[in-house]
Amino acid sequence: MNYRHAFHAGSFADVFKHAVLCRILHYLREKPAAFRVIDTHAGAGLYDLTSTEANRGGEWRDGIERLMKAQAAGEVPEQASALLSPFLDVIGALNEPGKLKTYPGSPAFTRAWLRADDRLIACELEGHASVALARNMRADPRIKTIEIDGWTALQAYVPPPERRGLVLIDPPFEEAADFHRLSHMTGLAHRKWATGTYALWYPIKGRFEADELAKRLRRSGIAKILRAELLVSPVSDPTRLNGSGLILVNPPWTLEAELEVLLPVLARLLERQPRSGGYTLDWISGEAAPIAAKTKPVAKSAAKAKPKSS
């Protein structure tokens, strides 16, 4: 999978990943103690949706644009809308009202949640993206951008001095070995910082790689791992991206219930064809749960937002 993020910014996978990221940051910010976010594969930080790259595939039109139109039209159920508001507010702050030109990457979402004593380490190895990241995050003393391999950074910056925070691991998956690296390196980092929250993103073309990742992580001995997956089409064509997943180690206690609300709504709004979306939400460690993903189709009851009282 060749994953130059400028081509995919604002896609359904970004919407899912960043909406969950904002829920985790919201939880971290609720407590007074400072926290640190370590973003191992940070990308450029901000993306121009009018660029040639973004419009070549137009993935943002079936991702963030579709979601924002649904939100504006009142098609998002009230509870899900409230959970998505912090995510959408960050995007709105970067764009003129009614226009969608700039999409934030994970460093920009994180920056919006940092308080004076909170910190972000944003790592990116690719030269052009690293330069853009430094430019986009410049003049913020809370943020340090580093041109470094993300896997090296994962070992170098864990544990953080604050002992509170999140490690976001979002590799490009340009090599088949990235699935194995993801489980192996997470296990090593967890041994150094067992109380941290880790969010591991991965693409879903077929089921094999995703389920093998879950099995390896379960064997790692990590005690508390929640799996969340969003599918926009059936996993029947392994040549295309049919969905994406997040492995959440030590997730906030509120997150499972929030995902139970968000996942069916996102699956319905972002599916490629009617009734083609689905989602998975299960514990692969921490509760008795089968490893094989049991994908839930979009329920008919999720098809419409609850009417707002006048």
What are the tens digits of pLDDT across the range 179-202?
Answer: 999 999 999 999 999 999 999 999
Helix (H) or strand (E) holding 231: strand 225-231
| pLDDT value for 146 | 98
Distance CA 293, CA 279 (A): 9
Residue 253 inside a domain? The answer is yes
Say what the pLDDT of residue 7 is: 85
Phi then psi for 248, rounded to 5 degrees?
A: -120, 110
CATH of the domain at 12: 3.40.50.150
Q: Is residue 310 part of a domain?
A: no
Helices (H), the chain: 12-30, 52-57, 64-72, 78-93, 106-113, 127-136, 150-156, 178-192, 207-219, 255-270
Compute how many other C-beta atoms are within 10 angstroms of the C-beta atom of residue 103: 24
Residue type, 224: K
Cβ burial 247-275 (10 Å sphere, 16+ → b, else e): bbbbbbeebbebbebbbbbbbbbbbeeee
Helix axes 64-72, 12-30, angle to 10 degrees: 70
Query: Residue 55's pLDDT is what?
Result: 87
Is residue 149 part of the annotated active site? The answer reads no
Task: Please give the tally of structural domains in the chain.
Answer: 1
Give pLDDT < 50 ranges for the chain: 1-3, 288, 290-292, 300-310
In a domain, 95, yes or no: yes
Distance CA 183, CA 200 (A): 9
Asked if the peptide bond before residue 234 counts as cis, ω within 30 degrees of 0, the response is no
d(CA 154, CA 168): 9
For 69-82, b where at least 16 C-beta lie within 10 A, e where not — what string?
A: ebbeeebbbeebbe
192 within a domain of the structure (yes/no): yes
User: Within a domain: residue 184?
Assistant: yes
Residue 56 is predicted with a pLDDT of: 87
Backbone angles phi, psi at 15, to 5 degrees: -55, -50
Domain that holds residue 162: 5-299
Q: Which of 118, 170, 178, 282 is catalytic?
A: 170
* Spatial separation of the C-alpha atoms in residues 280 and 286, rounded to whole Å: 16
Is the residue at 218 inside a domain?
A: yes
Place of tokens 């508390």: 224
The model's pTM: 0.92
Residue 230 has phi, psi (to 5 degrees) of -120, 125
Say if 97 falls within a structural domain.
yes
In a domain, 307, yes or no: no
Q: What is the pLDDT of residue 174?
A: 86
- With beta carbons less than 8 A apart as the criterion, state whether 206 and 245 touch: no
